[in-house]
Amino acid sequence: MQYVSEVVIGAPYSVSADMMEHFRVDIVCHGQTYIHPDVDGTDPYVVILTFIMSVLIGWAKKMQNIFKRL
């Protein structure tokens, strides 16, 4: 069983869209520890959360259109 294919040594605390594209990231994981804000006070996972929300909203709109056609 392979858990990861690559580990980014020295990765920044906050995850950026550029970093995810550069490393072709498919999955971002975090344990059960408290997520501390970045030094500027922002959520270090805001890029990922925004992406997830846009995917969910897109999925919901598709489902809404399917149900309208039925």
What residues does each domain of the chain span?
17-69
First vs last C-alpha separation in the chain: 43
- Give the residue, 26 or 70, on which the prediction is more confident: 26
| Dist CA 25 CA 12 (whole Å) | 14
At 70 the pLDDT is 62
Rounded CA separation 50/17 (Å): 10
Q: Which residues contact 12 (CB under 8 A, 6 or more apart)?
A: 19
pLDDT tens digits, residue range 6-64?
888 888 888 888 888 888 887 777 778 888 898 999 888 888 888 888 888 888 888 88
- Given a cut of 70, whether residue 69 has pLDDT beyond it is no
Q: In angstroms, how far is CA 20 from the centroid of its own chain? A: 9
